[in-house]
Amino acid sequence: MPDSIKNVDHIGDFTLEEAISKANTLIEAMGWIRQFRGKTTVIKLGGSILDDPQELMHILLDVIFMESVGMKPVLVHGGGKAINRELAESGIAPNFVRGRRVTDLPTLAAVEKVLAGELNVFLTQEIERLGGRAMNLSFQTTNVLFGQKLVDRPDEDLGFVGEVTRVDRNVIEGLSYTDQVPVIPSMCEGDDGQHYNVNADTAAMAVAQALGADKLVFLSDVNGVRRDKDDPDTIIHSLSSAEARELISSGVINSGMIPKVEACLETLGRGVKKVHIIDGRLRHSLLLEIFTTKGVGTEIHP
C-alpha cells in the first residue's frame, strides 16, 4: 500500500475495509448491469406488500436503481386487498372464482377508484418522492391496456372481468427516452369504451408479452410456489411447466396462485425468457433476483 494512504482508516462513515467491500460490490454488479442494460423487466406488484410502506419503499428503490443503471423496469400493479377494503365500506363481500373477482357494476366502480385512481397515482408519486421518475398510465391519463370481456368457461359469468388483447407498446417504450418508469394498473378498455377489471397477474403477462420482456417478476407476499402453501420451507425453487400444470390440477397450487402460475406458463410460451415468483417482503428481493446467479423464489421454466 502506498505510504500516502497507509494511515487512512476511515472513508466518510466507513472503515477502510467496509469502503473497499462496498466498492467491490459495485464492481461485481458491473457484469450483471452490462448484461441487463437496455433490457425490459416487467414487475408485477400485488398483495399485502402494497399495504406496507416500508416494504414498498424498498421495492421502489430497487426499481429506481434498475432504471438508473439503464435497465427498463415496467410496473404493473394490482391491489386486491385495497379493493376489498373499499368494498367493505359499502358492505360488499369479496367474491372470487378460481382467483378472479366476480365484478358487478358497483364492484367495478370500487376497482376503478382504487386501481386506476388512488393506487396508481400513489405509486407514481412515491417513485418521484424517492428520487426517480415515473408516469402513471391509466384511464385518467393515457390508457395502454385494451381488451374485452373474459369468457373463461362458457357456463360461468364473472361480470366486468376483462382480458387484455392489445397493449400500446409505443407509449410504454416511449417513456424510456425521458427516464420515466411506466406504472400500469390492471384494468383494460373494450372497443366500446367499457372498462374491465383484469387480474393483475394476467395483465402483467400481457404487458411482458407485448414488450418482448427479458424477465417477468411477480412480487408477492409468499416466498414462491410451495408444496404446502402454509409452509415456507416447502418452496419449489425450479418448476417445470409440466409440473406446474400437475400441481394446479392436484390442488397444491390454488386460489390466488392459480392466475399467477397460469400467467407464467402462458408467458413462457410467448418468448419471455425468464419468469419468477418472489417474495416482495424480502428486502431487495428484486435486485437479488437480477444480480445473483441462483436468484430467489420460484423460477418457472419451459
Which residues carry a binding-site annotation? 79-80, 101, 197
**Measured in Å, how far apart are the chain's first and last C-alpha atoms?**
51
The nearest distance, CB 33 to ligand ADP, in angstroms, is: 28
Cα–Cα distance for residue pair 302/300, rounded to 1 Å: 7
Taking residue 191's Cβ as centre, other Cβ atoms within 10 Å add up to 10
CA 183, 298, 181: angle at the middle one, nearest 5? 15
If binding is defined by CB under 6 A, does position 220 make contact with ligand ADP?
A: yes
Restricting to residues 18-57, which ones interact with ligand ADP according to CB under 6 A? 46-47
CB of 139 vs ligand X2W, minimal distance in Å: 15
Report the site for ligand ADP in 230-269 (rule: CB under 6 A): 252-257, 260
In SS3 terms, 10-37 reads as EECCEEHHHHHHHHHHHHHHHHHHHHHC
> Measured from the CB atom, is 47 or 295 closer to ligand ADP?
47
Q: How far is the CB of 191 from ligand X2W (least distance, A)?
A: 19
Which residues does residue 15 pair with via DSSP β-bridges, in sequence order?
A: 10
For position 225 contacting ligand ADP by CB under 6 A, the verdict is yes
Q: What are the angstrom distances between the C-alpha of 222 and each of 76, 107, 156, 219?
A: 18, 26, 29, 9
Binding region for ligand X2W (CB under 6 A): 46-47, 78-80, 83, 100-101, 111, 161, 186, 197-200, 256
CA count, 13 A, side-chain hemisphere, 142: 13
Residue 226, binding choice from ligand ADP, ligand X2W, none, Cβ under 5 to 8 Å by partner class: ligand ADP
Can you give the binding site for ligand ADP, defined by CB under 6 A? Answer: 46-47, 78, 80, 201, 220-222, 225-226, 229, 252-257, 260
